[in-house]
Amino acid sequence: MDLDFTKLDGLVPAVIQDAASGEVLMLGFMNAEAYAATRTSGQVTFFSRSRNKLWRKGEQSGHVLRVREILVDCDVDSLVIKVDAAGPGVCHEGYRSCFFREITPTGEFKVTAERVFDPGSVYRKG
């Protein structure tokens, strides 16, 4: 059986979950090539929609995501990938998870996590 890449023009969403804590760390998209690269390398590789190319998570920061388990949903159009995350956090803003803000009942975005690294020292500009 194959994944269904047709619903989002060649992409499937991949939920990245910390294998140990269960925390959702980020959500990215994979095309067939990124999915194959993830499986063969054992490191999460996305398709970057903004840069239109494969993007191995951590290739710049060193914060790679090692695949522990890949789960697929009933419609074979979404993935959950349980990972061991190298480094203190996955978010380019310096947080453990990209989901570091809660939406309050009044619709405000409120930071609820602690910043765990300085993004300026990890990510080069430009």
Alpha helices, DSSP H only, in the chain?
A: 32-41, 119-122
Nearest to 3 by CA among 107, 78, 85: 78
Contact flag: residue 102 with a second copy (CB under 8 A) = yes
Determine which residue in the list 30, 57, 98, 117 makes contact with a second copy, applying CB under 8 A: 98
Q: How far is the CB of 19 from a second copy (least distance, A)?
A: 11
58-87: contacts with a second copy (CB under 8 A)? 69-76, 78, 80
Nearest to 97 by CA among 29, 35, 28: 28
Determine which residue in the list 33, 59, 84, 93 makes contact with a second copy, applying CB under 8 A: 93
What distance in Å separates the CA atoms of residue 126 and residue 124, rounded to the nearest whole number? Answer: 7
Half-sphere exposure of residue 92: CA atoms within 13 angstroms, side-chain side: 7
Contact flag: residue 126 with a second copy (CB under 8 A) = no
Which tokens is 36 given?
A: 């194959």
24-53: contacts with a second copy (CB under 8 A)? 24, 26-27, 39, 49
Which residues are near a second copy by CB under 8 A? 1, 7-8, 13, 15, 17, 21-24, 26-27, 39, 49, 69-76, 78, 80, 91-93, 95, 98-103, 105, 107-109, 112
